[in-house]
Amino acid sequence: MLNEDAFWPCLEYRVIRELSGMPDNSLRSLWCDRFIPNAYHFDNVAARIEGRAWICRGHSQEEWEFALVLPRAVRTRDEIPWSSLVPPEDATGWLSIDLARRRIEVEPGAAVPDLD
């Protein structure tokens, strides 16, 4: 079982591995250096965590926005199922990158088997 402190580095490394396998060269050259959560939204429609992420290309780093979409509505941080939020290694489709807005969205519930 992961707690929140252990979750963020696990997600960081999982995002790095997912980016390295992207078909788009401009995305494959990106990597993630850190997630900094700063807003926890526990509404019934779209429970999510938002914050900043350090996204890098080579030696250059930029601060981007991120959103982690929670797969089920939760009422408190204590109810967040951290272990289930790290997408499996054999899954894809859970990571969205918006280069123009400098925004990353992680939606573990959208993961589908990676057939490559």
**Cα–Cα dist 38/114, whole Å:** 31
Collapsed DSSP state (helix, strand, coil) of residue 62: strand
The yes-or-no verdict on residue 44 having pLDDT over 80 is: no
Which residues make beta-bridge pairs with 53?
35, 64
For residue 68, what pLDDT is reported?
Answer: 97
Domain ranges of the chain: 4-113
- Mean pLDDT for 54-66 is 95
Instruction: Kindly indicate the confidence band of residue 115, based on its pLDDT and cuts at 50, 70 and 90.
Output: confident
pTM to 2 decimal places:
0.92
